[in-house]
Structure 1
Amino acid sequence: MITAQGMLDTLTDHGHDLAAGVPCSYFAGPLRLLDRGARPRYIPAVNEGSAMAIAAGARLGGELPVVLAQNSGFGNMINPLTSLVLPYRIAMTVMVSMRGWPTASAGEPQHHWMGRVVPDWLDSLGVAHWTLTADGPPLAELLRLARPALDAGRPAFILVAKGAIADDAPAQVPPSCDARPTRDEVVATLLAEVGDAHVLSTTGYLSRGLFNHGDRERNFYMQGSMGHVSGLALGAALARPGNRFVVLDGDGAVLMHMGVMATIGANAPANLTHVIFDNGVYDSTGGQRTGCARMDFAAAALASGYRDALTVDTIDTLRAALRSALAAPGPTAIVVRGAAGGPAGERASNNVTVGEIGVRFRDSLAVAAHPPGERMPG
């Protein structure tokens, strides 16, 4: 096992000038240090493909970059890897955490496939890769082995097993005077106001909070697929225009695939309310900053064609905003400036399988479309 500072020192010693990435708990320690200004220079990216593009630009500019990402987002890398990095012969080191490897836990089935296929995909592309484990060859040795690939203008991947990097960098304590709404307060307020609306929540702690505060068949808890819950809600809202849908989203998730906001605006579903909890960090991976403190989500929603959008920073104004949005045609965005941190709560999939979550949500929509006593088609 290598320490958090040891990992960064090793990367720097091997010539890496810049790191770009999307958080993973496997890199929690090094990312905390990078957030505080440790070398190499760190650029938080909105998704893994963007991190790879930033790294490619840095390499064209004469720096040697490293990308930090988790295998859940490996799919986001495929396009820039195959159409930019490989054909343009742009060298970079890519460190990818191997969640779900060698097997995924019962509570995290979304890691099953990526936990298996990443090495095979890299082999099929002819991309060199090595695996960093707690008791295997040290990182310095793997970087030495990777150097010929970099010198030939090709990427080199280091696949990182759980426990290979110590989470030994102390966490920063959030300000005690932060009076902004907490995640739990936002979830409880939303549940108190949504009535019979169908609620779809993004991956991470927001879904855990929704499950623990009020599990019901009309809730869809997203695990994985970060950034796609609003697209999922849009499809459901267009398919069921007679039902009301509420999206419970996070700032980091929205940033990851923000273009879907333009699609929501273009289709203008009157039955959709988009609640964005903006606390400036990725809470579920260790509280790393999103790097987008200047982002105005309400302005972006209006520019994308939402009928209305507003920003709130108290529970009272959130409650009033929800009541107004749910009584008026949408799409409406409600951006909640919230506090970072707070207990995570239990994962929904520890109690209900993700397959069951999908089935019961679909069944609840079928019942809503055909109330009890009405003859169902077929």
Structure 2
Amino acid sequence: MAQLPDRRDVVRALLADRGDLLVIAGLGASAWDITAIGDHPRNLPLWGGMGGAAMMGLGLALAQPSQKVLVITGDGEMLMGLGAVATIAVQKPANLSVVVLDNEHYSETGGQETATKHGVDLAAMARGAGIVETRTLRGLEEVPALRDRVHAGGGPLFAVVKIAVGNLPLVLPPRDGAILQARFREAVLGPAAHHQL
């Protein structure tokens, strides 16, 4: 079997030529990964609230239907927030893509195996919930086409990218949630955003 891709290489390929893409990153490694590629005001890395990334992405996609929203999260975080796939399927936001980086382990807490290691198929669960466009990728060469699909819209899209196990050096985003929220809000709504309620 071919070697699975490195998570950071996947994220780098996903965020290449990102334009105005809004990115929500799940708790832990996904947040470190988007920051390693380049801290950006249109990134909102989660420092807490495990299980909430997909729902935050849904809310953002519904509030900003003219902007493309990408959620990048891990298998452990997605397993905790599985109810999101049902709500996303019902709401059908055309501008939302969810990409799950699946190494089949809880890397942040010691490498315990997740349910995906034992046959749980997140893409099949999303499809069963009613998200029509789902896919599972196993090679880095497949990611540019996924990136193009994210930018094309017409979603929702739910993709699982199987990645290699292993911890990479931490590249931490700003730790102050108020700063992250304020700069993201300004990036989305413009400079006058801080005057709005």
Q: TM-score, normalised by structure 1?
A: 0.49
| 1:220 matched residue in structure 2 | 44
In the aligned structure 2, how far is the partner of 1:209 from the partner of 1:324?
21
Residue 349 of structure 1, CA deviation: 3.0
2:179 counterpart of 1:356: yes
Q: Which residue of the other structure, out of 272, 297, 321, is the alignment partner of 2:122?
A: 297
Taking structure 1 as reference, are residues 180 and 266 closer, same or farther at Cα in structure 2, changes over 3 Å only?
A: same
**CA-atom RMSD, angstroms?**
2.2
Q: Deviations over 1:58-87 (max 9, x none)?
A: xxxxxxxxxxxxxxxxxxxxxxxxxxxxxx
Q: Which residue of the other structure, out of 165, 171, 176, is the alignment partner of 1:340?
A: 165
Taking structure 1 as reference, are residues 324 and 286 closer, same or farther at Cα in structure 2, changes over 3 Å only?
A: same
Specify every segment of 5 or more residues in structure 1 that has no aligned partner in the other structure, as ranges.
1-176, 371-375
For 2:16, what is the secondary structure of its paired residue?
helix
In the aligned structure 2, how far is the partner of 1:309 from the partner of 1:320?
13
For 2:24, what is the secondary structure of its paired residue?
strand
Q: Which residue of the other structure, out of 74, 81, 86, is the alignment partner of 1:250?
A: 74
Residue 377 of structure 1, CA deviation: 9.1
Specify every segment of 5 or more residues in structure 2 that has no aligned partner in the other structure, as ranges.
none
2:189 counterpart of 1:366: yes
User: Which is higher, the Rg of structure 1 or of structure 2?
Assistant: 1
2:88 counterpart of 1:264: yes
| 2:20 matched residue in structure 1 | 196
2:137 counterpart of 1:312: yes
Residue 193 of structure 1, CA deviation: 4.7
2:103 counterpart of 1:284: no
1:183–1:342 Cα contact (<8 Å) kept:
no
| 1:155 matched residue in structure 2 | none
In the aligned structure 1, how far is the partner of 2:50 from the partner of 2:131?
22
1:227–1:255 Cα contact (<8 Å) kept:
yes
Q: Deviations over 1:78-127 (max 9, x none)?
A: xxxxxxxxxxxxxxxxxxxxxxxxxxxxxxxxxxxxxxxxxxxxxxxxxx
1:244–1:272 Cα contact (<8 Å) kept:
yes
| 1:18 matched residue in structure 2 | none
For 1:348, what is the secondary structure of its paired residue?
coil
Q: Deviations over 1:275-322 (max 9, x none)?
A: 011110011112111133211111111112223011111111111122
Q: Which residue of the other structure, out of 44, 52, 64, is the alignment partner of 1:240?
A: 64
Residue 224 of structure 1, CA deviation: 1.4
Residue 226 of structure 1, CA deviation: 0.5
Taking structure 1 as reference, are residues 342 and 237 closer, same or farther at Cα in structure 2, changes over 3 Å only?
A: same
For 1:179, what is the secondary structure of its paired residue?
coil
Moved over 6 A (4+): none
In the aligned structure 1, how far is the partner of 2:27 from the partner of 2:82?
15
Percent same amino acid among aligned pairs? 33
Residue 178 of structure 1, CA deviation: 6.8
Aligned length: 195
In the aligned structure 1, how far is the partner of 2:169 from the partner of 2:120?
25
In the aligned structure 2, how far is the partner of 1:194 from the partner of 1:298?
24
